[in-house]
Amino acid sequence: MHAQEEFVPPEARHITFVPFSMLTGGIMIVRATLDDHKDSLNFVLDTGSGGISLDSATAAYLQVEQKMSDKTVRGIAGVKTVMFTYNHTLHMEGISVANLDFHINDYDILTSAYGVRIDGIIGYSFLRRYIVSIDYEKMIFEVLTPGTYKYPRGGYMLKPQFSTLPMQMIGVKDSKEILSKFYLDTGAGLCMLLNEDLVEDSALLRSKRKLYPTEAEGLGGKKSMSLTVVKEVKVGPYKFRNVPVYVFDDEFNITQYPVLGGLLGNDILRRFNVTLNYPEQQIYIKPNKRYSDSFDYSYSGLGMYLIDGAITVTDIMKKSPAEDAGFVPGDIVMGVDNDLSGNIQSYKTRLQNAGEKVKVLISRKGELMVITMKIRSIL
C-alpha cells in the first residue's frame, strides 16, 4: 500500500486588525493614507468594486500622475471611460499594500449624500490578495495571508461564483418564490436591489404591493428607483422576513440580466460577521448581534445633500410625505426635532422613524420656519 500524499498549504497568518466606521445602511469607512502623503483619507470597503479607486478631487489634491485608459467602469447610474494612476501603496493600520493601480472617479455625490468625504473605494484589487474577516460587532476587520483558515463554528459557507465580484444564489419570495444570482455588495447601503426586468418577468411582487418612488446614489450620480417590501429573502439557511427592497431599471446592464437579478447590500450583510476568502473563492457568514435588528421601513420622499456646507433639499418625490408637508427644492435643513447638530447622517437617522411625526427646522430664502412631516411606513 502507498501512503496518501496531499499538499497542505501553510496556515493563514494574521497581519493586522483594521478599525472601520459605518454610515447609513451599513457602508464601511476605512481610514488610510496613500504613498508618502500624510493626509488621512476615507475609503469605502466594497465587494461591489472590481478594482480600487480614488476620487478625482482627491487625486488632484494629492497631485498623482493620471493617464487615460481604454477601460470603462459601470454602475447603476452610468458607464464611463476612466483615467488611471499607477503603482501606488495604500497604508492602513498595520499593513501597507503595494503595486496598486487606482482608477479615478468622481465621488462628490457620495460625499454630499453622506456628509463625509469619500476619497476612494477599496475593492477587488485589495481583497483578492488576502483573507479579510469582518467583525461588525467590534467594527474591525482582520487581514490575514492566504492559506489554511479555520472558520468559526456556528456559521455557513457560501460558495459564490467569482469574476471580480462575488455572485451568490439567493432566494426571494413574495407572490412567487424565485432563486437567482445576486452580487454581494458591501458598498451598497441597502438591503437588496432588484432588477426591474426580473421583477416583471417572474411576477415576483404581489399585485397589491405599493411601489414608492425614491432615488439612490451610485456611479454616474443619482438614480430614480422604487422602494417596496418582499415577504422573504433567504441567504444560505438564513431567512429574513418583510425585507425592504429597491427596484431599478438596469439601463446600463450592470446585472447582465438574466445572468443576475440584482445585488444584496450591506444592510443585510452587516447582520453577519463575514469572512471574505477571495483566494479560495469562499465567503463565510455567521449571524452576529445585529442579526435581529429591525429593518428600516420609513419613507419620506425627501432628498437632501450636503452642498457647500449646507444640508440642502434637492429632490421631493411626488405624492410623498415631503411633498405633502410642503418642502421645496432649495430649503436648507437646520435641524430635525431637537437635533441641531448640522450632521446629515444624524438627520437621516431621525427621519427613519416610520409612522412618527417629525419637526424639521428649515431656512427658506433666509426665513426660518418649522415643517411637520409624518414619516410613512412602507410595511
In this structure, is residue 288 part of a structural domain?
no
**Residue 113 near residue 217, CB atoms below 8 Å:** yes
Query: What pLDDT sits at residue 77?
Result: 55
Cell 440584482 identifies what position? 262
**Residue 145 near residue 95, CB atoms below 8 Å:** no
Same structural domain for residues 200 and 310? Answer: no
What spatial distance separates the first Cα and last Cα of the chain, rounded to whole Å?
66
Query: What pLDDT sits at residue 80?
Result: 73
Same structural domain for residues 32 and 131? Answer: yes
Q: What is the pLDDT of residues 54-64, one digit of tens each?
A: 999 999 999 99
Same structural domain for residues 30 and 118? Answer: yes
**Furthest CA-CA distance within the chain:** 91
CA distances from 127 to 102, 134, 210 (A): 14, 12, 39
pLDDT of 212 > 90? The answer is yes
Enter the C-alpha cell of residue 26. Answer: 451599513
Same structural domain for residues 126 and 31? Answer: yes
Secondary structure (DSSP) of 233-295: EEETTEEEEEEEEEEE--TT-SSTTTT--EEEEHHHHTTEEEEEEGGGTEEEEEE-TTTTPPP
Task: Tell which wins on pLDDT, 156 or 24.
Answer: 156
In this structure, is residue 283 part of a structural domain?
no
**Residue 31 near residue 169, CB atoms below 8 Å:** no
Query: What pLDDT sits at residue 81?
Result: 82
- CATH number of the domain at 235, please: 2.40.70.10
Last residue of a domain, one of 270, 287, 320: 270
pLDDT of 31 > 90? The answer is yes
Same structural domain for residues 89 and 111? Answer: yes
Number of separate domains in the chain: 3
Query: What pLDDT sits at residue 3?
Result: 54
* 99 Cβ contact partners less than 8 Å away, ≥ 6 residues apart: 87, 89
- Mean pLDDT, rounded, for 240-267: 94
Same structural domain for residues 195 and 315? Answer: no
pLDDT of 76 > 80? The answer is no
Quote the pTM value.
0.93
CA distances from 174 to 116, 230, 232, 349 (A): 36, 5, 7, 28
Query: What pLDDT sits at residue 2?
Result: 53
Which of 220, 216, 205 has its CA nearest to residue 263?
216
**Mean pLDDT, rounded, of the chain:** 94
Task: Tell which wins on pLDDT, 186 or 253.
Answer: 186
Phi and psi at 288, nearest 5°, equal -120, -170
Q: What is the pLDDT of residues 213-247, one digit of tens each?
A: 998 876 667 788 999 999 999 999 999 999 999 99
- Mean pLDDT, rounded, for 10-23: 97
d(CA 350, CA 342): 12
Query: What pLDDT sits at residue 220?
Result: 64
d(CA 217, CA 150): 37
- Mean pLDDT, rounded, for 344-365: 95
Same structural domain for residues 303 and 366? Answer: yes
Query: What pLDDT sits at residue 75?
Result: 65
- Mean pLDDT, rounded, for 277-288: 97
Query: What pLDDT sits at residue 82?
Result: 86
Last residue of a domain, one of 224, 252, 270: 270
In this structure, is residue 211 part of a structural domain?
yes
Sign of torsion over alpha carbons 33, 37, 41, 43: negative
In this structure, is residue 293 part of a structural domain?
no
Task: Name the residue range of residue 186's domain.
Answer: 157-270
pLDDT of 281 > 60? The answer is yes
**Residue 51 near residue 72, CB atoms below 8 Å:** no
Enter the C-alpha cell of residue 195. Answer: 432588477
